[in-house]
Chain A
């Protein structure tokens, strides 16, 4: 075929060669368009003619066509069958779309986070490197410790220490605070990344004085520098200091160690620096192990090294030990239980959807019995009928899958919006080929799963009975039993999901009922960062915060206000070891540690943190006044179990720091999380602390709605200095509810799934009972002719439905008790076997089942005995 190779196939095979020959002979030398048009006309004419003249295909069962032709035939027939019963098809498709769509959406969120490898070459060798703290948990490390490990560890190919960095970029009067990291020179080597433009940091740039160079993220380069390649070598002003751009990362680089980072600079520490000490544990370390080194081997070696370091510097460590955690594990640890729980839940929804469609198919199979009997009588084998039925169910689920992907497309957007900000790799979420492949496979498996039971049940018709008029009930009982089992299974699964949702709801309630230790209502909060050359000297910083506080207090509607170095539940912690006078420890590292809140007068009052005893911090507690401190109740009990702490003295921040007198005890504040333990806390006047915190958080108590006053407060601060960035301006209630976000995320999903499951289960119960009433019309008619009362008939049907539900619920309760431990990590203040939740769920399910029984039961009472007896 020289032309129209594929078009030629439109001509029926019997005529193809001759017609194509004619076309070639007549039009072969002419234009290609003419040839194609003639070919199409010929193909159409021949097709129409052959269809008219060929006798109808004989009703043979076996034919010589290949498997492909048979499949197409099956598909066509399946399409026609489905189109003939639009109600059934729509219901089945809706169910499958929900099931497959929800599963696809969840899978596409979970897949890159839990199952895909890290987007770094050899990512499985990238490890976080931790010191062990007194409790054996992971702890940051100090610079000198890091240097020792880097020098000694043979199992480590490259290692880097890193620290957070929030520089403010200044250009033409427009300042913006950026997120970045300061890192040692091998940082990108550890990750296996190279700048796409320019170069990596050099060893020389790790040295103090030469470390004013930066590497930009692709995003920052595009946004701030217009994607200009000549930016390499150009100066950029950060915090009033000039830096030189040496590199730009590729757009594909994902910064998993610090998700919002946009730029990187060398750490530039020297061992002699005060903040490079061994106890200055504020650095995170990441390492790439050598090929073939296991996690255990690396941890073992690090432990050994740690032992040597501690032996040399016994007063700088509280305990011996270091270990590595694979980065992939580390990143997903927080979200893994939640994501697995959600994945499991959606799997349940899919199973329920399958059971439901399966049950629908079984119901339909009874109606189609005649059809299969005729096919059987004409010689169709059982295999042939099963194949036809499976084709139908797979076709259904593939269409459902296609619709489901569309649903998931929207669903993923919602999930990302709803998701806790802590989800790693958010940028990688979406519908991609992996997800499409997964959905495709899922659809086929689903189709086979829900199709196989009905297909096998249908494909062995008893020809004689089935074809007899009025006798179309072969295998009815076994099929009805199968449907009942399926529906009971649905009820069981729905119950488990409902229990999950119920437990999570109770946890959420309990969590939000936790007293945070302050009064969040009516509080506005925002962080102000002093930055730039103007604030290079501490007195300037202190003066700014003093003046800004006066300006804020002058805003109409502001009752009181105060600064704190750290906001409770703000996601930070700032912890110092505290030495107690008279109980001095030879190793200061063994001292209890407390959260430090450096506050201005007015902070405790504005937050309404209750004063238990003593006094609060006031204006007289100035820089020159005797140093004072307030402690929380937890610290009071821990440090002075049998004494009065008032008047006692403590020291924090090192042996050169003054002893501070405890002048007051205040209530505990949940500063790290509503569900986390209470740490010892210390409040001291900010002006009495050894350095001025460059960034402070404002707490302002307002009359009325605090969110309305935020702009006025912001402009009051700007009236003191308009150039400083104000961050996270919000209400304290927002901050509070934000801490429940990860739990709410899981709860909302469980709730949605549980509602879908409940609806599907109700539809299943309804379907089975409606089918059974139809089948038993004659029986019901006879009963009613023999004098059965309306109530009796109602009871007959409702009892059947409730038996079904009850059986399902028993199985479900056992399952829920077994499975609820997987939710343990997500629960708060409620046990996995919380009886209140179980009882509520059982009541809810029973009520829904009763509603689902109602309509079929009513229909049973309306059966007229005469009609029923005439009906067959």
Chain B
């Protein structure tokens, strides 16, 4: 059964791709703020990351502790193959649907 992505899920997946191997709670939140014009709470980020994880679209690994985190480890997320596939399908659907409309609607 193909998975459909919600809009915020798409944004989080894109942020993770942009962050490459540096994607975890705080960086995802910052990336969404900087490039996605979304001011969201960490809670919202976690909710989505956990949902994507449970769907198998992202995978987590435990990273290294850093001093500014009070010596706590990070939980890094990376987009899985299934995640990439789902994102591609979503984005191409968007692209197809917006094609031929007013140029300003065209995806970049």
B51 CB within 8 Å of chain A: yes
A window 1-46: CB within 8 A of B: 1-2, 15, 17-26, 28, 38, 41-46
Q: Are B43 and A24 in contact (CB under 8 A)?
A: no
Q: A21-B65, A21-B69, A25-B68 are in contact. Are A41 and B51 (CB under 8 A)?
A: no
Q: Are B26 and A26 in contact (CB under 8 A)?
A: yes
Q: Are B72 and A20 in contact (CB under 8 A)?
A: yes
Q: A19-B25, A22-B26 are in contact. Are A46 and B43 (CB under 8 A)?
A: yes
CB neighbours of A19 from chain B (8 A): 25, 42, 46
Stretch among A48-56, A96-104, A375-383, A674-682 lining the B interface? A48-56
Q: Are B70 and A46 in contact (CB under 8 A)?
A: no
B12 to chain A, nearest CB (A): 13
Q: A18-B75, A48-B47 are in contact. Are A42 and B68 (CB under 8 A)?
A: no
Q: Are B73 and A45 in contact (CB under 8 A)?
A: no
Chain A minimum-CB-distance residue to B68: A25
Alpha-carbon distance between A43 and B43 when the two chains are bound, in angstroms: 7
CB neighbours of A17 from chain B (8 A): 72-73
B37 CB within 8 Å of chain A: no
B55 to chain A, nearest CB (A): 9
Chain B minimum-CB-distance residue to A42: B43
Q: Are B51 and A15 in contact (CB under 8 A)?
A: no
Binary interface encoding of chain B residues 11-27 relative to chain A, with 1 for a CB under 8 A from any of its CBs, else 0: 00000000000001110
Q: A2-B70, A18-B73, A26-B26 are in contact. Are A45 and B43 (CB under 8 A)?
A: yes
Binary interface encoding of chain B residues 27-50 relative to chain A, with 1 for a CB under 8 A from any of its CBs, else 0: 001000000000001111011001
Q: A18-B75, A42-B42 are in contact. Are A28 and B50 (CB under 8 A)?
A: no
In this complex, which of A2, A25, A48 has the most chain B Cβ atoms within 10 angstroms of its Cβ? A25
CB neighbours of B66 from chain A (8 A): 21, 25
B54 CB within 8 Å of chain A: yes
A46 to chain B, nearest CB (A): 5
CB neighbours of A21 from chain B (8 A): 65-66, 69-70, 72-74
CB neighbours of A43 from chain B (8 A): 43
Q: Are B68 and A46 in contact (CB under 8 A)?
A: no
Q: A19-B25, A53-B51, A53-B54 are in contact. Are A45 and B70 (CB under 8 A)?
A: no
Alpha-carbon distance between A28 and B75 when the two chains are bound, in angstroms: 18
Alpha-carbon distance between A52 and B54 when the two chains are bound, in angstroms: 10
- Our pick among A26, A50, A53 for the contact of B29 (Cβ within 8 Å) is A26
- Our pick among A22, A24, A25, A45 for the contact of B47 (Cβ within 8 Å) is A45
Interface residues on B, range: 20 to 34
Q: Are A45 and B46 in contact (CB under 8 A)?
A: yes
Chain B minimum-CB-distance residue to A41: B43
CB neighbours of A1 from chain B (8 A): 70
A49 to chain B, nearest CB (A): 4
Q: A17-B73, A21-B72 are in contact. Are A49 and B50 (CB under 8 A)?
A: yes
B window 40-89: CB within 8 A of A: 41-44, 46-47, 50-51, 54, 62, 65-66, 68-70, 72-75
Chain B minimum-CB-distance residue to A11: B46
B46 to chain A, nearest CB (A): 5
Alpha-carbon distance between A46 and B47 when the two chains are bound, in angstroms: 6
Give the dominant DSSP class at B's interface: helix
B82 to chain A, nearest CB (A): 16
Give the dominant DSSP class at A's interface: helix
CB neighbours of B72 from chain A (8 A): 17-18, 20-21, 24
B73 to chain A, nearest CB (A): 6
Q: Are A28 and B68 in contact (CB under 8 A)?
A: yes
CB neighbours of B29 from chain A (8 A): 26
Alpha-carbon distance between A248 and B83 when the two chains are bound, in angstroms: 86
Chain B minimum-CB-distance residue to A29: B68
A54 to chain B, nearest CB (A): 8
CB neighbours of B50 from chain A (8 A): 15, 46, 49-50, 53
Q: Are B69 and A49 in contact (CB under 8 A)?
A: no
- Our pick among A20, A41, A42, A53 for the contact of B70 (Cβ within 8 Å) is A20
Alpha-carbon distance between A384 and B65 when the two chains are bound, in angstroms: 42
A56 to chain B, nearest CB (A): 14
A3 to chain B, nearest CB (A): 9
- Our pick among B46, B54, B62, B73 for the contact of A46 (Cβ within 8 Å) is B46
CB neighbours of B44 from chain A (8 A): 41, 45
CB neighbours of B70 from chain A (8 A): 1-2, 20-21, 24, 28
CB neighbours of A23 from chain B (8 A): 42
CB neighbours of A28 from chain B (8 A): 68, 70
CB neighbours of B68 from chain A (8 A): 24-25, 28
A448 to chain B, nearest CB (A): 44
B54 to chain A, nearest CB (A): 4
A4 to chain B, nearest CB (A): 11
Q: A46-B50, A50-B50, A53-B54 are in contact. Are A22 and B69 (CB under 8 A)?
A: yes
CB neighbours of B24 from chain A (8 A): 18, 22
Alpha-carbon distance between A22 and B44 when the two chains are bound, in angstroms: 13
A window 799-855: CB within 8 A of B: none
B30 to chain A, nearest CB (A): 8
Chain B minimum-CB-distance residue to A1: B70
B27 to chain A, nearest CB (A): 9
Alpha-carbon distance between A678 and B74 when the two chains are bound, in angstroms: 95
Alpha-carbon distance between A46 and B25 when the two chains are bound, in angstroms: 12
Alpha-carbon distance between A52 and B50 when the two chains are bound, in angstroms: 10
CB neighbours of B47 from chain A (8 A): 45-46, 48-49
Alpha-carbon distance between A21 and B72 when the two chains are bound, in angstroms: 5
A488 to chain B, nearest CB (A): 60
CB neighbours of A24 from chain B (8 A): 68-70, 72
- Our pick among A22, A25, A44, A49 for the contact of B51 (Cβ within 8 Å) is A49
Alpha-carbon distance between A53 and B57 when the two chains are bound, in angstroms: 14
A1 to chain B, nearest CB (A): 7
Alpha-carbon distance between A46 and B62 when the two chains are bound, in angstroms: 18
A349 to chain B, nearest CB (A): 55
Alpha-carbon distance between A45 and B51 when the two chains are bound, in angstroms: 11
Q: Are B46 and A49 in contact (CB under 8 A)?
A: yes
CB neighbours of A46 from chain B (8 A): 43, 46-47, 50
Alpha-carbon distance between A321 and B63 when the two chains are bound, in angstroms: 93
A52 to chain B, nearest CB (A): 8
Q: Are B43 and A25 in contact (CB under 8 A)?
A: no
Q: Are B69 and A44 in contact (CB under 8 A)?
A: no
Alpha-carbon distance between A42 and B75 when the two chains are bound, in angstroms: 15
Alpha-carbon distance between A820 and B74 when the two chains are bound, in angstroms: 77
Instruction: State the 3 A-B residue pairs at the shortest beta-carbon distance, nearest first.
Output: A21-B72, A45-B43, A22-B25
13 contacts between A and B (CB under 8 A): A18-B25, A20-B72, A21-B66, A21-B73, A25-B69, A38-B41, A38-B42, A42-B41, A45-B46, A45-B47, A46-B47, A52-B51, A53-B51
Binding site for A on B (CB under 8 A): 24-26, 29, 41-44, 46-47, 50-51, 54, 62, 65-66, 68-70, 72-75
Given contacts A15-B50, A18-B25, A18-B62, 8 further A-B contacts (CB under 8 A): A15-B75, A21-B69, A24-B70, A25-B66, A26-B29, A42-B41, A44-B43, A46-B46
